[in-house]
Every structure is written in C-alpha cells, then in structure tokens.
Structure 1
Amino acid sequence: MDGLLRIDTGHLVQPGEEGLLQLSPADISIFRKFQDGLQENRTPITASFLDEETIADIKSTARKLREKYENILILGIGGSALGTKAILDFAKGHYHYLEKQRPRIFVLDNIDPAPAAQLERILDFSKTALIYISKSGSTPETAANFIYFYKKYKEAGGDDGDIVIICDEKENGINRIAAELGCYLLHFPPRLGGRYSALSPVGFLPAELAGIDCRDLLEGAAAVQRVVTTAADEENPLLVLGSSLYQYAQQGRTTHVLFNYSNLLVEFGLWFMQLWAESLGKKETLTGEQVGRIGATPFSCLGATDQHSLLQLFKEGPADNVHGFVIIDQVPYDLKIPGAFSQEVEYAYFEGHTMQEQLHIEQLATEVSLVNAGHPCYRITLSEHCTPALGALFYFYEALTIYVANLYNVNPYDQPGVDEGKHQAYALLGREDFLSKREDYQRMTEKYGRESRVFVI
C-alpha cells in the first residue's frame, strides 16, 4: 500500500534561503548502516513483522475474550500502555468506551487510587477480563495494580485461564505466575523495548479486541520499511528529516514540537514523547564517553486547541524549537457548519464550510505563520483516517528516533536514568532483593526532606 503518508520537509530551511539543509557525508554513512540494519532485520523494530503463527494466536485470544466479556481492563504503564491508547483513540475515537461497542476497553496506566477507585465503581468484574502488560514483569506500578484487580476479579468469580499476560520470555516471576494461573501468555518479540512495542502483541491484542485488524497496522509499517530502505538519499524522508532535526539540535533548537491537528492523535502525541525522550536523552555515548546531557526535548500539543495556549510562546519566545505538524487529509465523516446569526460579521462567514476544512485552514495558517517568523517546520499528512496509515506513522517515528539516536551515537533502547528511581522505590517499598540499599535511600530521602523550604498558604 503506497501513499499513506506525505512528508513535507521543504520548510525546514529559514524563509528566503535557497535549497535544503545539506546532508553531510557522515550523516549519509550513518544512515547507510541504519538502512542495512533494517534490511537485514538486525534493528529491533523489524521484529514487529510477526510470523503468521503469532498473529493467529493473538486473533484467537482476542476472539475468545470478545465473545465472553463486556469489558476489558488493560494494566500497563509507559510503552506497555501508550501505544494501545494511541491505537484505540485513533481507530475508535476518544469517547469509544461511552458508545454501544462491546467489549468496552479501559486502560489503567498509573498507580493512582483515584482512577483505580473509579474503575472499581464502573466495572462489573464478573463481566471484565484482565490483561496485564509488563516487559520485565516487575514494573512496580503495574504489578501493584494487577495484584489489586486480580483480587477483585477472583472475588467476582473470574477464571484464571482467561487472564492475559504479556511480558518478555526471560525466566522471571511473571512467567512463573502465568504458568501457575494457566492463563493466556504472549511475549514481547526478542530485543524489542517497551516504547517500541505498539506494533507487537502489546498493541495488536487490544487492537483485535476493538475489532481492528492488526495486519492493517503491519501493512502500513511495511510500506514505510520499503521506502526508507530503498529511496535515494535526497528523496529519502527519514534521512532528510532525521538529519535536519539533528543539525538544528546542534544549533540550539533542542525542542521537537509535534503539533497534532486531530483529537484522534492526542494519545499518539503522548506515545511520541516517551519514544523521543527515553531514546535520545542520554549522558553517555555507545563508546562509553561521558558527553554531558544530550538529546532533544519532545513536546506534543493539539491543534487547533493549543493555538490558544502555546502558539504565542512558539512564535515569539525562545528560538529553540523545530515544529512538526501531523494532519489527517480525508476522514470518513465531516460536519457541515450551518448558517446562523448571519447579521453578525463574526458568524456569517462560517456557513457552507466544514469542521475539517476549518481545521486544515487553521493548521496551514499556523505553520505559515511560524515559518515566516523564522521557525523551521515540517508536516506529515495521513492520506486518510485508516489503520494502515497509523501503522505507517508508528513505524516512521520509531525508525526516525533510532536514526537520530545513531547520529548522537547513543543507545536508543535503554533508559538508565529511569532505573535509578525505580530501584529506590523497590528498596523503600521493601522488595527483598533491594533491601541492602534501603538504609542508604532512607538517609538520602531524609536529608532531602530536611533541606526543603516549604511555604504554607
């Protein structure tokens, strides 16, 4: 399938300048190696192209749960939840769980008693299936939620065999628990990190539960794979965009704004922020060199809404941003604005226009305004509101992130800055294999508390 995405990089140069940002020989050399990794399936994201047997297992599991349950409660956090939320919101709309669609799918992705208690009030656990997603199987927030809701599920007469656990294949507690429960068990593809797992069983099972064919997501990803591995250098959108973003970051434009002009893309923007932030924000290179703090800050916002909150800063504030716009060209529904209050000039001009038309006009006006103010912009247009286009968008940004990480010479798959806080939480909560550090962490937090300066109002 071709023509799913249109990627315009023509306004990444300053207005009035001739030509494009130059592709350096070093960038091209790094990109060649990256292309080779994709072509030879050495890059972990190519693990998304699952074998037919795995897809059949996912479809079979989803079909059984859809036939039996009115509700699905998915427990995850970070990469184990953000991709799923992006798929559901894009394909089914933000209010999908309020429509008369069955099963209703809920995603709990925080250890916060407020939404957990609300879900407990909303859900009948005798009619609710549990899906527990954690790559390591030890993510503390998700593990605590699973323990809590597993008890509610069992009290309502839930069948252990209907629980679904998605984790990696390593020998660990979660795989042992799955064996003990005799439940459905799906695994992350080897070497595929959580934030790259939307195009894997992590995203595919929820998609199938919502009636979305996961093969359509893969079809879009495959279209991107074909283009980025075969297109000539100057015609390769991934090479041109990735190199431009890197060059601008070296010049001080270290904030990558993604302006999504559709509510269907709000959750995709949050997925993008985790992907970009955890993959690029590093202080050590692949060769072990301590380089300080490098990377680029992701910032997702919603058009046209955030024209009324953030655009003033983007246009007249610090010149530290590159702006990406994502829009959907054709939608299967549009609403025509009727005529009313025609005697008032502020209202008369709307008649005959559609909401989608107005959204597109406002997007273009915003982009042109930013470029004319000297801010580099690019635009990605989804040809239509369809699942293959979303799969293409996921895969394009995954590949873009990995290529830019290669330019920085950092590991796009680890997150050492996250692990330190996680280990402190393990120790302070009393996890046995971290107790040796508990006193050190307690002293650290007590010292931190003594240094606080608190104002009470």
Structure 2
Amino acid sequence: MATLSFAEIKEFGKNMFTYSFGKESLEAQVEALGLTAAYKANLEKAVAHAKALAADGLLPFARQASNGPDMGPIAAACARITASCDDLIVLGTGGSSLGAQAAIALARFNKGKVRIHTPDSLCPFEMDLLFKELNTRRTHVLAISKSGTTAETLAQLLACRSWIESGEHAENLGDHFTFVTEPGKRPLRTYGEKLGSPILDHPTDVGGRFSVLTNVGMLPVAVSGLSVEAFRKGAEDVCEDFIAHPETAAAVVGAALTQTLSEHKGITQVLIMPYAESLRAFTRWHGQLWAESLGKDGLGTTPVRAVGPVDQHSQLQLFLDGPNDKFCTFITIPSFGKGPRIDPDEAKAYGLDYMAGRTIGDTVTCQSRATQETLRAKDRTVREIVIDALSEENLGGLFVSFMLETVVTAHLMGINAFDQPAVEEGKILTRQYLNELEI
C-alpha cells in the first residue's frame, strides 16, 4: 500500500481506519529484508487462526454488542451515579482501570457533568490529596475487580469508606458505592452486599486486560457523557472486517509482521506513538495488554510508549540512532487546518516564515510525516494507522483491533494470551509480608 498523500488523508474516512507502511508496499519491504517466505508462512498461520476465531463467533471480549443485554444495567447504574454526585472515584488497577482511562480521555474537556478520578496506583500521597479535594457527600465510589480479591483495590475501598463515613454522607452509606466483580463468593461482592450497594457482574469469560468494552470500561464511559453504543459499534465494524477479510485486517497483518521481525530481525520492542494527546492513556492500556499477554516462557516483545510530537524531543534520538530493535506504530488523525492559526505577520517578524498562516494541526501533520520518513530512511519498520477522527467509534475499533492483534500474535508465538502466572508469585509474597508486619 502506498503512503497516503495529504489530499487522500483529507478525504479518508470510509473504513474508519486504515494503515500504511510507507512509499513501498509492505510486500516490497518484506522482500527487501529477505523475509518473504517467513512472513508468508506467519501470515498464513495468522489468517488460519483468525478464521478459526471467526468460526467460533470470535472471542468474548469482541462480542460486546452495541445492543447487548448489559446496556440497560450500565445505563441504570450511570443514571444513579450521575444523579447523586459531582465526583466519581474509580477504584481498580491494571485492566480494571487502564481501559476506562483510555476511553474517557476523549471526554477530557468536560463532556459529562461528573468529574472522574482514577487513582489506579496505590499511592498514599495521591489518596490523601484526593480526599482533601473532594466533598464526601457528593462523591461516589466505583470499585472494580474481576476476582474480587485485588489487594490494591480492596485497600483503597476500605480507605474510601472510612473517609466518607468521617464526613457528610447520604443516610444510606451504600448509596455512595457501586461494584463490578464476578458472581460467586468473593470479598468484594460480599462487601457490596453488606453495604446494600448495586453490584454489576463482571463477565466471567473476559479477562481484566481485555475488558475495556465490557461494563468495566463502559460504565465510566457512560458517566463521562460519551456513547457506549458508539464505542461498541466501532468495535463491531472492525470485527466484521476481521471476519470478512482476515488476510488484510490490521490485526492479522500486524501480528504476522511482528512475529516475523521478532524471529528473524532481532525486533524485541513494539512502539506505539499516537499524535494526539487524548490517546496518551491508550498507550498505557496497550502496554499492559501486550506485556502481560505475551511476556511468557522467555518470549515476548517489550511495549514502548510515546506521544507525538512531544516525544520527538525526548525519545526519538534513541528510536533513530539507537539499536534497530523496534517495530514502530504511529496513530495519526488528519489535522490539516485544525487548531489555532498562526498570525502571518507575527511569524515573519521573528523569522518564522515557514509557520506563517499555518495552523497547529498543519505543524503536527508535517511533524508526524517527517518523523516516519526519517525512521524509514534509517531502515526502521514503521506502520501508520490513520483514524478519521477522535471519536468513540474509532477508539472502540482501535481497542478491539489491538486486542485481536495481541491474541493472534500469541498464537503465532505458541503461548496462552490470557494467563499471567508470573504475576501471581508477587501477589502471594505481598500478602505474606503484610501478615508479618507489626502494627
């Protein structure tokens, strides 16, 4: 596929997002690297796995329907929360928080009437600052844990309850809380039942880091004022393409190329670099998804996060002149004519003629293109994903595309994408050390 010209990008949008590997086709670049046979073999395996997944109706994380049975409960929980509070504290860590953070970043300019706080890092100083800032009477707490045993979330929950009890609050304390956890006997569910608070069932067949399109990510989305239906509709469109055209789907092609580069060219890192501040949290979500799903049995590639153009001034030197061990993915949004326009006279007065009359969006677009071309000139493998707008539909599509890419890559690696055995060892030791502390 040829690089999209500026004019083509302006007209882009029919298929929500597309991807490009530069002036030469992907096939030509693979041939130049001497990887044609290896890539073809991996692509055939990836396509076969995609077809097998499609035959089974895709995986549960990709079957979160825009008219699904959980839409009503999500809307009801949202209405209850927004009617009673000014601030929502979302308690969760890892997949129970990162997906929601990435999704609601689209609403960062006060789309909804409730401010949402996501203290996903168990930091005592941040919790103290948060409690000092908020009004107990007008604060609601949403606690999310698939297992219902996540130590960080439970610790924050107990702290939040004590804080709310110490100040003004509703007559029924349980009105300040909502819970999302799996059915069955588990600490978080028992706690919610005793408080008399609403409890939404976390899908039992969807792991935490794959849960962004479930009620885990979509309840905060609803509270933020964004459209749950639109997020899921965007994901549905990508899934339809994945099923109908697996040989060209971004998830399948990306998985095949990543595995080929890892096996034959020493690529040990995958870089995600969007050129939009609203997608900064998306890079954190992808980092967990990729690392926790694929880092097993001595295998895996390390996710690297960057945001353009700011990280052109911090990490780009390494990407260009350091080891050639990265597969670089850029996510861009056509921004010609967008943003403030620079006054021509002011620009020329200071010798900045090249900026005269240009918009901020013009600058960002040219920076993105220049960075990609410079990387390619240094023989770095670069993929560009272009979305036509910062919208719920497009972000929903990106979420499911990268989740499918992760699963297909795991298949090519011969590992299970859905477990995290090494992480459990640290959890066991943490509980042991807490038991040994003297109070």
Q: TM-score, normalised by structure 2?
A: 0.89
What residue identity is the alignment partner of 1:409? G
3-state SS of paired residue (2:388): strand
1:8 aligns with 2:16: no
Q: 2:320 aligns with which of 315, 319, 323?
A: 315
| Other-structure match for 2:376 | 371
What amino acid is the match of 1:238? A
Equivalent residues in 2 for 1:330-369, closer than 5 Å: 334-339=339-344, 340-345=346-351, 347-369=352-374
- Aligned equivalents of 1:112 and 1:104: distance in 2? 20
**Whole-angstrom CA distance in 2 between matches of 1:384 and 1:25:** 35
- Please report how far the alpha carbon of residue 68 of structure 1 lies from its aligned counterpart in structure 2 after TM superposition: 1.7
Deviation of 1:226 (Å): 0.6
Distance in structure 2 (CA, Å) of the matches to 1:261 and 1:185: 38
Q: CA separation in 1, counterparts of 2:394 and 2:132?
A: 36
Does the C-alpha gap of structure 1 residues 261 and 42 become closer, same or farther in structure 2, counting only changes over 3 Å?
closer
Contact 2:347 2:356 in 1 (8 A): no
* Cα pair distance change 1:349/1:148, threshold 3 Å: same
The alpha-carbon distance between structure 1 residues 359 and 19, as it changes in their structure 2 partners (threshold 3 A), is: farther
Shift in Å, 1:151? 1.4
CA distance in structure 2 between the aligned counterparts of 1:216 and 1:370, rounded to whole angstroms: 35
- Residues 315, 332 of structure 1: alpha-carbon distance in 2 compared, 3 angstrom cutoff: closer
User: Offset at 1:334?
Assistant: 2.0
Cα shift readout 1:197-243 (whole Å, capped 9, x = no counterpart) = 1111011100100111101000010011011111162x333222210
- Measured in 1, the distance between the counterparts of 2:48 and 2:204 equals 24
Count residues with an aligned counterpart: 417
- Tell me the residue number matched to 2:211: 197
Cα distance in 2 between the residues matched to 1:135 and 1:232: 31
Report SS of the residue matched to 2:332.
Answer: strand
Runs (5+) with no aligned partner, structure 1 = 284-292, 431-437, 440-457
Q: Does the aligned pair in 2 maintain the 1:14–1:371 contact within 8 Å? A: no
Residue 298 (1) aligns with residue 326 (2): no
- The equivalent of 2:292 in structure 1 is 278
Partner Cα distance (2:284, 2:139) in 1:
27
Q: Which amino acid aligns with 1:117?
A: D
Separation in structure 2 between the aligned mates of residue 282 and residue 21 of structure 1, nearest angstrom: 27
Q: Per-residue displacement from partner, 1:35-87 (whole Å, max 9, x unpaired)?
A: 32244235232343376331111011101211221111111111111111111
- Residue in 2 that maps onto 1:435: none
Amino acid at match of 1:273: G
Task: Go from structure 1 to structure 2 and tell me whether the alpha carbon gap of 1:193 and 1:57 turns closer, same or farther (over 3 Å shift).
Answer: same
Query: Within the alignment, does 1:119 sit opposite 2:130 as a pair?
Result: yes
CA RMSD across the alignment: 2.4
Q: Which moved more, 1:367-376 or 1:323-332?
A: 323-332
Identity of paired residues, percent? 25
1:146 pairs with one of 157, 175, 178: 157
Q: Partners of 2:322 and 2:131 in 1: how far apart? A: 44
Q: What is the aligned partner in structure 1 of residue 59 from structure 2?
A: 43
* Alpha-carbon contact 1:5-1:381 (below 8 Å) kept: yes
CA contact (8 A) 1:110 1:142 kept: no
CA distance in 2, matches of 1:225, 1:173: 35
Q: Counterpart in 2 of 1:131?
A: 142
Normalised by the length of structure 1, the TM-score is: 0.86
Conservation of the 8 A alpha-carbon contact between 1:47 and 1:190: no
Correspondence for 2:394: 389
SS at match of 1:329: coil
- Give the distance between the partners of 2:230 and 2:14, measured in 1 at CA: 13
2:252 paired residue among 223, 227, 239: 239
Task: Describe how 1:64-103 pairs up with structure 2 within 5 A.
Answer: 64-89=80-105, 91-93=106-108, 96=109, 102-103=113-114
- Once the two structures are superposed, what CA deviation does each residue of 1:383-428 show, in whole Å capped at 9, x if it has no partner? 1121100000000000000000000011111111111111100111
The 8 Å contact of residues 38 and 229 in structure 1, kept in 2 or not, is answered as: yes
